[in-house]
Chain A
Amino acid sequence: MGVTCVCQVPVSEGKSVQQTVDILHKKLEQLGAVKQGNFWVDCETYHATGNATGQPSKLLYVMHNSETPLSCMALFEGGPGLSADANFDVLMVKLKSHFQNAKGHKVESRGVRYRYCDFLVKIGTVAMSSSARGISVEVEYCACVIPGDCWNLMKEFMQSFLGSNTPELPTVFTSKAEGLSVPVDCMDTMSQYLELFGRVRKQQVLPGSGVR
């Protein structure tokens, strides 16, 4: 577990999602990155069936990450988060009279995992209801857990294959009260994915795009 940065890469003009992903793969391979299996991150949306106060409740997101296959993460947008073991999914089934799963809102990102020295790069196709909606890129610098100590290095590495699409320091780190010197945890990665999925969900469906 190191510092991660998740960003969305726009689909190149005149290209399909898959073609853009292929271009990214090629760039990474030219750099010398090595394919190391696949990855996936998914996100279920739950909404409360109605609380006693009748107020609109926040949506609860339950996420999984192939990097931590025995865990299950529960998050609120911009709010508190929780990592738990896989039994949390079973608990959500028990809670179904209070929290309903919005199946149509399930978002996932799947793709190839590359390793380049101390970096892990995951290029994923973000899909909702089996239609491709965008591209996610996750870069993890495995050798460091303090964002303030390695962000410049990460940025430089990302520029080498993302060019002008290189993102800024993720807000999940900058918004922390303790600053950039606190160690990251897996929830930081998940909130970045959650933010990205949220943006993708609101986005228009790309014309004529199916997954892969």
Chain B
Amino acid sequence: MQQREEKQLEASVESLVTRVAHLKGSLQSFIYKLENEYERLTWPSVLDNFALVSGQLNTINKLLRNEKTPSYRSQVIIPLLLSPDRDEELAKLTEQRVPVFSHEIVPDHLRTKPDPEVEEQEKHLSAEAARIGPEVAQKQIQTLNKLCSNLLEKLNNPRDDRDSETSALRQNKPSFNPADTNALVAAVGFGKGLSKCRPPGPAAPGHPGQPMMSAGPTLHQVTVAGASGHQPGMGGQVNQQQPGQPGKMPSNIKTNIKSASASMHPYNR
């Protein structure tokens, strides 16, 4: 019977040791990455590392809570031999962290109670608690509860607001308009809806499938002025769109404009 329990204990310790080793390994590699590859490290991979560590911690917790795991609490460790000399075996087992099993370090490593200072503080707090009467304590508990619930309410409410806002955005207020998309794509694609620089000659109004979106009276005039005269209002950019020097090749300009107005719309094919 006892032998079976011992075996169980041994097995569970062994599996615990391997799990802890895994955890240690992933922590080490994560720390290495943080220290040496922080320039290339992307946020998603940092998150991956955190997820790995948290997963491993979870498995260890699950293992400890498992029914089959014997209670480690009931196991007692007694130091049988203390020595001020260096113990190579121990140093190897602890990766050089604990080279000596001496009087100095044993109380730290085998401690089952809190530190003396902590113990002192705890004693102080217990005394304090005993000093005030149960009624006062009850009152204090109530005040604290009230504060907490108030705070929780405050934290929860704006989240509701936010949620309703985004859901409203999603359902009632669309963030885009497909008709606008089409209009904009058509404008950058082939200038639909933009003032044409060619004169609206006799052929222009009859263009099938080419609604002159901007053909209001003022714009219309502007278009004509731009195509024939080209210059008034150009300000500092005079040299930009002159069709040749004026006066130099006047016949050329004229014919070109005529031909442009006479030919069909370029995209009518």
Contacts and interface: CB of A to CB of B under 8 A. Distances in A.
- Which secondary structure dominates chain B's binding surface? helix
Contacts of B259: 52-53
Nearest to A55: B252
Interface in B212-269: 252, 255-256, 259-260, 263
Nearest to B259: A52
Interface in A4-61: 52-53, 55
Contacts of A52: 256, 259-260, 263
Nearest to B255: A53
A52 B262 CA distance: 11
A55 B256 CA distance: 10
Contacts of B252: 53, 55
Interface residue range, chain B: under 10
Contacts of A53: 252, 255-256, 259
A207 B123 CA distance: 118
A52 B260 CA distance: 8
A55 B259 CA distance: 12
A53 B256 CA distance: 6
Nearest to B263: A52
A92 to B, nearest CB: 21
A113 to B, nearest CB: 34
Interface in A99-133: none
A65 to B, nearest CB: 24
A128 B255 CA distance: 36
Contacts of B256: 52-53
A53 B261 CA distance: 12
Interface string B176-219: 00000000000000000000000000000000000000000000
Nearest to A53: B255
A58 B91 CA distance: 91
Contacts of A55: 252, 255
A52 B258 CA distance: 10
A53 B259 CA distance: 7
A107 B71 CA distance: 95
A53 B263 CA distance: 11
Contacts of B263: 52
Nearest to B239: A80
A53 B251 CA distance: 11
Interface in A68-117: none
A178 to B, nearest CB: 13
A55 B254 CA distance: 12
B246 to A, nearest CB: 14
Interface of A: 52-53, 55
6 contacts: A52-B256, A52-B259, A52-B260, A53-B252, A53-B259, A55-B255
Q: Which 7 A-B pairs have the closest CB atoms?
A: A52-B259, A53-B255, A53-B259, A53-B256, A55-B252, A52-B263, A55-B255
Given A52-B259, A55-B255, 7 more contacts: A52-B256, A52-B260, A52-B263, A53-B252, A53-B255, A53-B259, A55-B252
